[in-house]
Amino acid sequence: MINWKVKEQGFCPDQMINNGNKFLIGNGYMGVRGTLEEFRKEELVAINLAGIYDRAGEGWREPLNAPNGLYTLLKVDGEVYSLPGAAPKEHCIGLDYRRALFSRKTTWKSPRGNVTIQAERFASLEEPHLLAMKYCILTDFHADVELITGIDADVWDINGPHYDAFSFHEEAGRLIAVGTTHESRDQVCVAEGCQTNFISEHKLHIDDRSIMRRMSFVTDAARSFEVTKWIAVYTSKDSDDFEQQAIRLVNDHMKSGYEASRCAHIRKWEEKWAVSEVMIEGDDEAMEALNYSLYHLHSIAPRHSDSLSIAARGLSGQTYKGAVFWDTEMFMLDFFLYTEPEVARTLLRYRIDTLEGAKNKARSYGCEGAFYAWESQEGGYDACSDYNVTDVFTGRPMRTYFKDKQIHISSAVVYGIIKYIDYTGDYSILLEGGAETIIECAKFYYSLLLKKVNKNCYELHDVIGPDEYHERVNNNGYTNRMAKYTFDQAVWVLDKLCELQEDVSERICAMYEREKLKQQFEDASQKLYIPQPDEKGIIEQFDGYKTLEDVSVETVKARLLNEKEYWGGAYGVATHTQIIKQADVAAWLALFPTDFSKDILLANWHYYEPKTEHGSSLSACMYALLACKCDMPDRAYPFFIKSASADLTGHGKQWAGLIYIGGTHPAAAGGAYMTAINGFGGLHFKDGELKVKPQLPPTWKKLRFKIRHRGVLYQIDETHDDMLIKKCEG
């Protein structure tokens, strides 16, 4: 059985950064790293906010971390008791990931006895702007205590500082901090309210980076001294009267009490688990890892918005600039489609609403249509730098071409929209900008087609496929196949608009020369070069791939002179070899398994997997899915576990050159879910009907999950020999 708890006993300074990710709590509006109450920016404390960004100087534009209203520091008999400064007698942190409750318990041995802190906190799923915490002090002697608690605005930034100024004040016992950003003059407000079960001397201290209460009191040996805090976070993007809203939210929850807020939060989580929990009989390790992964996806779902997506590192900090990658559509979308289709719609609305930014980017490259941002921020702004990696030997930025050449990003947007329509049967998204988005993405690929005078096919040159170690290649198989898919879907959309008989359909059709475009896209789809298997069944990843040095991953790794060295780019150790970063041809075949026979799929799995470094957390799940398509659930299993455990183990890559890229891995979490449900569970859809074809790993006795399909909730039970699909509601 699953116990829904992650714990770490003892204090290890080396684990502080990983623990920030592993013990993260969040509610889609904000993510709170699993750091301790006394930690400051040096320990990478962050309350990371969704969808609001700032650029300071020449640094990378990145999301904002809010001032920390959880900050609390304990002094006993004049001595500070905090980590990492004072070594504890005992220490434990925990995450109840069924109820999204973070907890800690720490005991120190003082000259006069034991001093213990117990704390619990949550980011309310019922009210996305709210954080709540209960902090308890216990001593086995009469201790003179000073407790310092309030709002610490000296926040951690990777490329900051992002606040030009702060204002602090107290209003009717509530502490308020408002920061003004450098670039857009956005404002972030944190309001804090505090209640205690004891009487203390109370002093207020304000400096240029904090507003703090200093509470002094004497403990009794047999009593818990409790401080309860409510923290509200609002920004000027949320409301014009953001400060008053923050104060009202704190006041309302202080009236109702901590337990009421906690219970409302837990009820919301139980609603989510009632649909999304996955049961695996016979493999508790897999069941815990998978549901822990789903916890992280729930924690970053933007339920507070109707048009917002999920960053590649979720809400675990400013890594990857808080930008939205192809990860969302290709790896996370299935989970939300199956459990909360309205969240999936929100993710896709973000892409539709940033179409103008994608068209602007295409124009900047002399192209037509929509070229979506590789690292998307507000309005579709591409935050990707021309120099995305730093050379570890010279300290100089290295020119990379992620932003310019990863053209497969636009096809990912199309793939997501079509998958949503196919799954939900909701065509209204086409009339709300989805049709234009698909057509403009097809126009983009059409404007890139090349034709050699001695050939009767179109080609796509100078691209980067999912394997980022090989830049500026021609005819990457994955990219070409996804472009063909985009042309096909654009043709379908042009036909579908005529069927819908809506005023909006007529307007969209009037925008385009429908028949001309349809002929162009049909011609492009038919004539676009798609690499074919050779005599051994192997599909060449890109033109000339097989001429590169054929060596092992271990051989290439041995050539590194520095463990943080980047493997790709102009001088990378993998660039001139057949070693690839992540699933590329394998991703193509996992997405389109009917393109070739099962023998071809299997041959390519065996050929490419040993050549894959798996330098991205996106890689393992694609090999797992392809293994399932090849009827190899036993070979898929270790890749599934790797994806599901990415944030439990903390073994993912932490550096790309000198750039810190640590954080949570929501794409790996989504990939683990796809492997469990679509791979092992064999879930698929034929003519709009739900079908399953179980192929469970050998140790699994039973797989049970629920999905929402076209407004109906189903429960699916599978064993090696049987299956049952049961309707749970009308």
The number of residues making up the chain comes to 730
* Residues tagged active-site: 468
Sign of CA dihedral 681, 682, 684, 686: negative
Please answer whether residues 119 and 136 qualify as being in contact, where contact means their C-beta atoms are separated by less than 8 angstroms. yes
Q: What residue type is 306 in one-letter code? A: D
Q: What's the alpha-carbon Rg for the chain, to the nearest Å?
A: 27
Q: What is the distance between the alpha carbons of residues 588 and 594, in angstroms, rounded to a whole number? A: 11
CB atoms within 10 A of CB 700: 22
Q: What residue type is 472 in one-letter code? A: R
Coil, strand or helix at 262:
helix
Before 633, cis peptide (omega within 30)?
Answer: no
Please answer whether residues 301 and 310 qualify as being in contact, where contact means their C-beta atoms are separated by less than 8 angstroms. yes
Q: What is the distance between the alpha carbons of residues 512 and 439, in angstroms, rounded to a whole number? A: 9
Please answer whether residues 556 and 527 qualify as being in contact, where contact means their C-beta atoms are separated by less than 8 angstroms. no
Please answer whether residues 441 and 507 qualify as being in contact, where contact means their C-beta atoms are separated by less than 8 angstroms. no
Cα dihedral 438, 440, 442, 443, rounded to 10, equals: 170
Instruction: Specify the DSSP class assigned to residue 539.
Output: P
For the record, the structure tokens of 498 come out as: 């005529």
Q: What is the distance between the alpha carbons of residues 349 and 528, in angstroms, rounded to a whole number? A: 30
Q: What residue type is 625 in one-letter code? A: L
Q: What is the distance between the alpha carbons of residues 222 and 622, in angstroms, rounded to a whole number? A: 56
Report CA 150 to chain centroid distance, whole Å: 30
Residue with tokens 């699916």: 716
DSSP letter string over 630-647? Answer: TT-HHHHHHHHHHHHTHH
Q: What residue type is 642 in one-letter code? A: K
Residue ranges with strand state E in 83-223: 90-96, 101-110, 113-123, 130-139, 144-152, 163-171, 174-181, 187-196, 201-207, 210-218
DSSP letter string over 440-487? Answer: HHHHHHHHH-EE-TT-SSEE--SB--S-TTS-SBS--HHHHHHHHHHH
Coil, strand or helix at 556:
helix
Q: What is the distance between the alpha carbons of residues 247 and 577, in angstroms, rounded to a whole number? A: 59
CA 497 vs CA 416, 491, 723: distances in Å: 19, 10, 39
Q: What is the distance between the alpha carbons of residues 126 and 422, in angstroms, rounded to a whole number? A: 31
DSSP alpha helix (H) spans, 559-609 = 585-591, 598-608
Please answer whether residues 265 and 96 qualify as being in contact, where contact means their C-beta atoms are separated by less than 8 angstroms. no
Nearest to 131 by CA among 121, 142, 140: 121
